[in-house]
A and B are shown apart, each in its own frame.
Chain A
Amino acid sequence: MAFKLNVNGRTSTVDAPADMPLLWALRDILDLRGTKYGCGIGQCGACTVHLAGQPVRACITTLEMVKDRPITTLEGLSPDGTHPVQIAWQEIDVAQCGYCQGGQMMSAAALLVRNPKPSDRDIDTALNGNLCRCGTYLRIRAAVHKAAELAGAGTTTRSAGAGALRDRE
């Protein structure tokens, strides 16, 4: 079947079965490989994208379910890494392997739109569906606060303990 997909502001026609998950249409047909496969059952969040601004798991969202809603992927935050979430993730040096981070960032970006000053608890709730196998959660939390700050929203409860980028003897 032919589906018209509006991804990152561009419309493409994808000829694929209706039950194909959006994840595989993005990765294998549209060549947008920033969206990752981790579990295929909505458990890990590595495939998180925005559907009409809402974070969804692309691995369990079929093409049929997308309808005419616009899709934003990690590549759509900004191609040059200048979205506040992307800047914050770099400043805090969040990643270890980096594989989950796209999904984490998409969950974070969606959170900041609806809640520009999230508390630690707000962040935990919004990102609890995103697994990080390397265990970078403290830095992710710090980076979401940083992104909120960069977006001009300021912060409320700050994370402690991430300890990013401190020099030591």
Chain B
Amino acid sequence: MKRIEEKPMLERRSFLKISLLAGGGVMFGLTAEHQAVAQGRGAPQVAPDPHNFIKVAPDGTVTILAKNPEVGQGVKTMLPMLIADELDVDWKQCKIEQAPFDESKYNMQSAGGSTATPVNFMPMRQVGAAGRALFIAAAAKTWSVPESECTTSSGRVMHQGKSLSYGELTAKVAELPAPNLATLKLKDPSEYKIIGHSQTQIDLHDIVTGKPIFAIDMKLPGMLHASFERCPVLGGRVVSANLDDIRKLPGVKQAFVVKGPDVQGIPTSYPALVDGVAILADTWWQAQQARRALKVQWDEGAAAAGSSTAFAQKAAELSKQPPQRTLRNDGDVDAAFKNAAKVVEAAYSYPFISHAPLEPQGATARFENSKMEIWTNSQQPGSGRRQVAQILGIPQDDVVLHMVRGGGGFGRRLTNDYMIEAAAIAKQAGVPVKLLWSREDDMEHDYYRPGGFQYLKAGLDASGKIVAWQNHFISYGEGENFVASGALQPFEFPQRFVPNYALHSSVQPLGLRTGALRAPTSNAIAFVIHSFLDELAQAAGKDAVDFRMDLLNQAPAVPAGGSAPPGVNAERMKGVLQLAAEKSGWGKKTYPKGTAMGIGFHFSHQGYFAEVAEVTVTSTGANSHKVKVNKVWIAADVGSQIINPSGADNICQGGVIDGMSELMNQKITIEKGRVQQTNFHQHGMMRMAQAPPEIEVHYLKTAYGPTGLGEPALPPILPAVANAIFNASGKRVRSLPFSDSGFSWA
């Protein structure tokens, strides 16, 4: 079976459905038996009967439905561009609307894993092409001419000087049999008029005029504003609360306890709904004010012993003991270390961090006539809907979701805890409720990027080649189970590129919820691997780019007819490494003392990225170093086609800035089971004056199917900046964030 990245998914069997809509328009849709594979997220998704993407009104207005949740990744613009181009209409005559949530019609509707492009590039184009074929058929029938003699342009069908608009044909189209998608002719890329051409974000006008389009902006008649107090220790239970006092406070309409499922001990995975106290008021601020007077007696449970200091001590102990498990063992690392000319060891670590999308968590819910209706910015609404039904004990068909724009996602909205809370509160309250988390709630009750420790050892032969690589990875979990996003893949780079390779792991219990943060696992591993690779290059006395190129050249050939191994495709990675080196002028520039370049690359979510950072480090004391990132060069291979260049550049540059925030300032710590950081002043993100003035983005077009950009631009920037800092200052920092080692942005 070929990987998605090698070839975009094709429908096995599909045909077009048409239905007449109220208002005289026609809807087209794709019906497909669809093996949708969300790369990195497990089981295939089956969507039995998707439909309804395009509506053409008699006046020629084309409405295209965007099926996936929009959280700033630009998918509400990008997916309809694919449809519009193949439909052969002008982008400016299109109106884009968010599709309703209905996975039986639209296939998987989620935002995660940079999957929207590889999963939808082909089917969305087929939807558009099928629409075009129908208008041609309707026109050909009208004129009694062969379809093959008709052409289209800008939403019109033409034949020898005659022409009809799609709007004029829309009623006739409804009577036609559906074309077989498998026989449709798709445009050659040279014919694209919309794909590959920058289009501004679809909601931009609403954003700049302040329209209430975000989840936080929802408003329902009779709605109350809810604030929800959770136990500061995960898994804690409400014993009692001074609810009567709270109910008397200004603006407060209701106050009650919400019970979550019971928690025993320290499980690897916690329930989505936790115990807490809901306060409902006329305004959210009044609910928050009342919360200040709230006194809850908690039974904190087993996680109350959690401590970052203790976790680090335990990890250090575990590193000295035999690993609990071996995840991969190629060759014989011990023998290779004995024969190595040089052995290098280093211990790396990275902390828990919070997603902190700028729009805090929240959802609006109404329980009426046994039906639960929810307005949500979830990145994974389908999973949320199933959980709401299960936790509230109502049939899934009675849970209706509306997808609303999210103010950032970054993986935080893949978990649906806040939406489940809103539903539980609304059901108990008997009135429509808008739940909003405070920033403090958000930072203290996240599904954090798990911290971790990696004890690395590598052997070099006399020529400076890596002959052995060993990693004792220390994470969180129990037995063979890692906490969410707390695992390392056995085929993680440089597995397969080093003849003797061992990945061992040990875990300790956590008592904190963890989850996917933009480029999960990769956001930490790239820093570790490429910092260590630079240490090895230095030990080998080689240039950082040459050393990596040599390593990539060590990939064993894939046997003819054999399936490609998982992980890095060496040729593609060499391509972006070369491009990044070329564009940045690697090795060709002379800098004053304190200024230098650094490089890193990473493969994640099907994207190949190499990045170079140029930094200036100014030390004002032994433990005070100011870092300015002067410029960043991004080289990306995400296949044959960039669909919306403006959106693509934007998200690549944003990924780089996001990664730099993680590198420098972000850390969540726990003591007595409580998260100690409360707001942005303790979990810093990069500000405008700190951002590099220039971030160049270069795409290497290759013959592979187009893949996504939400995640893979982020990971390499951490080691690129870390290595540049070392090259500029001689200071090798092996623990994130760098602020703990006396560094800060200039």
Which A residues have a C-beta under 8 Å from some C-beta of B?
16-17, 20-21, 24, 28-29, 31-41, 43-44, 46, 73-75, 77-81, 85-86, 89-91, 93, 95-102, 105, 120, 123-125, 127-141, 159-161, 163-169
- Is A128 in contact with B687, judged by CB distance below 8 angstroms? yes
Complex Cα–Cα for A131 and B407 (A)? 13
* CB-contact partner of B359 in A36, A135, A168, under 8 A: A36
Segment at the A interface, from B5-13, B497-505, B646-654, B736-744: B646-654
Closest residue on chain A to residue B698 by CB atoms: A168
Q: Are A75 and B691 in contact (CB under 8 A)?
A: no
Residue of A nearest to B283 (CB): A28
Contacts A75-B209, A165-B200 given; indicate if A135 touches B696 (C-beta within 8 A): no
Per-residue interface assignment for chain B, residues 249 to 270, with 1 indicating a CB less than 8 Å from any chain A CB and 0 otherwise:
0100000000000000000000
Give the chain A neighbours of B198 by CB distance below 8 A.
Answer: 93, 164-167
Contact B650 A39 (CB under 8 A): no
Query: Are the C-beta atoms of A135 and B357 separated by less than 8 Å?
Result: no
B85 shortest CB reach to chain A, Å? 14
| Cross-chain contact A135 with B658 (CB below 8 angstroms) | yes
- Take A81-B209, A97-B72, A169-B196 as given contacts and tell me if A139 and B650 are in contact as well, using a CB distance cutoff of 8 Å: yes
- Determine if B716 is an interface residue (Cβ-Cβ < 8 Å): no
Give the Cβ gap from A39 to chain B, nearest Cβ, in Å: 5
- Cα distance A79–B210 in the bound complex, in angstroms: 9
CA gap between A108 and B461 in the complex, in Å? 57
Query: Which residues of B pack against A, CB within 8 Å?
Result: 71-74, 196-198, 200-201, 203-205, 207-212, 214, 216-217, 219, 225, 250, 282-286, 289, 356-360, 405-410, 436, 438-440, 631, 642, 645-647, 649-651, 653-658, 679-681, 685-689, 691-697, 699, 701
Known A160-B693, A167-B645; contact A37-B208, beta-carbon cutoff 8 A: no
Q: Whole-angstrom distance between the alpha carbons of A57 and B658 in the complex?
A: 24
User: In the bound complex, what is the Cα–Cα distance between A157 and B308 (angstroms)?
Assistant: 46
Check if B693 sits within 8 Å of A120, measured CB to CB. Answer: yes
Minimum Cβ distance to chain A for residue B634 (Å): 11
Smallest CB separation, B556 vs chain A (Å): 34
Chain B, Cβ-Cβ closest to A120: B693
B196: chain A residues within 8 A (beta carbon): 167-169
**Residues of A contacting B631 in the complex (Cβ-Cβ under 8 angstroms):** 161
Check B207 against A124 for contact (C-beta < 8 Å): no
Q: Which residues of B contact A138 (CB under 8 A)?
A: 653, 691, 693-695
Instruction: Provide 24 A-B residue pairs closer than 8 Å at the C-beta atoms, listed in order of the A residue.
Output: A36-B359, A37-B216, A40-B679, A41-B679, A41-B680, A43-B681, A44-B358, A74-B208, A89-B207, A90-B204, A93-B204, A93-B646, A97-B407, A98-B214, A102-B207, A134-B408, A135-B654, A135-B655, A135-B657, A141-B688, A161-B653, A163-B649, A165-B646, A168-B645
Contacts of A43 in B (CB 8 A): 679-681
Nearest-neighbour CB distance to chain B for A106, whole angstroms, equals 10
- The answer to whether B357 and A97 touch across the interface, beta carbons within 8 angstroms, is yes
A contact residues around B697 at 8 Å (CB): 163
Q: Give bound CA distance, A136 to B631, whole Å.
A: 15
Could you tell me the distance between the alpha carbons of A97 and B207 in the complex, rounded to whole angstroms?
Answer: 9
Cβ 8 A contact of A98, one of B407, B693, B696: B407
Q: Which of A32, A39, A105 contacts B680 (CB 8 A)?
A: A39
CB < 8 Å: which of B209, B357, B409, B647 contacts A74? B209
Determine the chain A residues whose CB is within 8 A of the CB of B679 once the complex forms: 39-41, 43
Q: A29-B283, A163-B649, A167-B197 are in contact. Are A105 and B208 (CB under 8 A)?
A: yes
Q: Find chain B residues with CB under 8 A from A95 CB.
A: 72, 201, 203-204, 207
Known: A20-B283, A24-B283, A97-B359. 6 other contacts (CB 8 A): A37-B360, A93-B647, A97-B407, A131-B685, A133-B356, A135-B653
Interface of A is mostly: loop
Distance in angstroms from B364 CB to nearest chain A CB is 13
Evaluate contact between B357 and A133: CB separation under 8 angstroms.
Answer: yes
B654 pairs with A134, CB closer than 8 A: yes
**How far is it, in angstroms, between the C-alpha of A130 and the C-alpha of B438 when the chains are bound?**
18
User: Contact check: which of A24, A35, A165 meets B210 at CB < 8 Å?
Assistant: A35
How far, in angstroms, from A93 to B647 measured CA to CA in the complex? Answer: 8
A81 to chain B, nearest CB (A): 5
Chain A neighbourhood of B284, CB < 8 A: 24, 28
In the complex, chain A residues whose CB is within 8 Å of the CB of B283:
16, 20, 24, 28-29
CA distance A32 to B285 in the complex (A): 15
Interchain CB contact under 8 A, B285 and A136: no
Residue numbers in A under 8 Å from B694 (CB-CB) = 138, 160-161
Assembly CA distance A33 to B215 (angstroms)? 11
Bound Cα distance A166, B656 (Å): 20
Contact partner, A161, options B74, B642, B696, Cβ 8 Å: B696
Shortest distance between the CB of A36 and any CB in chain B (Å)? 7
Q: Are A31 and B219 in contact (CB under 8 A)?
A: yes
Q: Which B residue sits closest to A100, measured CB to CB? A: B358
Chain B residue nearest to A41 in the complex (CB): B679
What chain B residues lie within 8 Å of A99 (beta carbons)? 72, 214, 357-359, 407-408
- B701 contacts A131, CB within 8 Å? no
Please determine whether B205 and A38 come into contact, CB atoms closer than 8 angstroms: no
What's the Cα separation between A98 and B211 when bound, in Å?
A: 11
Given contacts A128-B688, A135-B656, A167-B645, contact A34 B650 (CB under 8 A): no
Q: Which of A21, A102, A137, A160 contacts B691 (CB 8 A)?
A: A137
A85 to chain B, nearest CB (A): 8
Alpha-carbon distance A167/B195, docked complex (angstroms): 10
Expressed in whole angstroms, the Cα–Cα distance for A160 and B193 within the complex equals: 27
Contact residues in B for A131 (Cβ distance below 8 Å): 358, 680, 685, 687
Residues of A with C-beta under 8 A to B217: 33
Shortest CB-to-CB span from B328 to chain A, Å, is 35
What is the CB-to-nearest-CB distance from A158 to chain B, in angstroms, rounded to a whole number?
11
Residue of A nearest to B77 (CB): A93
